[in-house]
Structure 1
Amino acid sequence: MPSNVLLTPDKETRIITDRALHKFAYHQHVRYRLLVVNDYYNHQYNFFLEWHRPAERSRSIPLHSLHNYDLAYLRRVLLLVQTDVGFSVSFRDFARSAINLLQKS
């Protein structure tokens, strides 16, 4: 998506949830979660749908990138996404203080 197009948290949430639910297929004994990665080189946050079957490696597919590199904005989008899809969320490449801030409801 071009960087000159500004998206609201609601629109970003819609993109993430639509893509996550489109790729989600219920299977027994499979753990699903959202993975949020802090891409500090490109100054963006990347969302992935990750799943894990017993005795297999985890797999993930990209869902969306937030180009607004602001923790308050990410927190707002996360709250909306969790309300819509209900998956647990894990964080990668975030400082502990940032994770604590993001996990507050």
Structure 2
Amino acid sequence: MEETVMSKDLEVIYSRTELLFKRISRTQYWIQVANDPYDRSYNFFFNSQRKGERLKSVPLHRVDNYDLKYLEQLIAELRKKTSLTIRFIGFTTLRWPKTQKLIQWKRDKLE
């Protein structure tokens, strides 16, 4: 069952990303994953910023399975489907269960 839940989460995130990704010149695009320990969820956002303009952030999906193993698998599958950069917010002291690498290397300005 967990595999089908992951594939649904993955499909929602990826399909919404594809709709928003316009490939406009001089524009940066990335996916942001925010840890929400209060609601025990992970929130995915599609961010874009054209040179000289303000950041646009669009919510993509909320993942309610608050488990780092699950998130690690979901991110691995998402990276197979897209080459967009994935940034993390709120994960400064956490490590991926499989590789034990830090999830977020430095504190983001938004934290």
Shorter-chain TM-score: which interval? 0.7 to 0.9
Aligned to 2:49: 52
Give the paired residue count.
Answer: 98
Shift of 1:18: 0.5
Q: Give 1:64's match in structure 2, choosing from 57, 61, 64.
A: 61
Q: Deviations over 1:63-86 (max 9, x none)?
A: 001000001100111111111121
TM-score for both structures, normalised by structure 2: 0.79
- Segments of structure 2 that go 5 or more residues without pairing to the other structure are 105-111
Q: Deviations over 1:30-82 (max 9, x none)?
A: 01000000011110000000011112221110000100000110011111111
Spell out structure 1 runs of 4+ moving beyond 4 A: none
Give the aligned residue type for 2:53.
E
TM-score for both structures, normalised by structure 1: 0.84
Give the aligned residue type for 2:58.
I
> Does the alignment pair 1:17 with 2:14?
yes
The two structures, once aligned, show a CA RMSD in angstroms of 1.8
Larger relative contact order, structure 1 or 2 (CA cutoff 8 Å, min sep 6): 1
Normalized per residue, the structure richer in helix is: 1
- Segments of structure 1 that go 5 or more residues without pairing to the other structure are 1-5
Q: Percent identity over the alignment? A: 31
> Does the alignment pair 1:80 with 2:81?
no
Aligned residue for 1:12, secondary structure, equals helix
Aligned residue for 2:22, secondary structure, equals coil
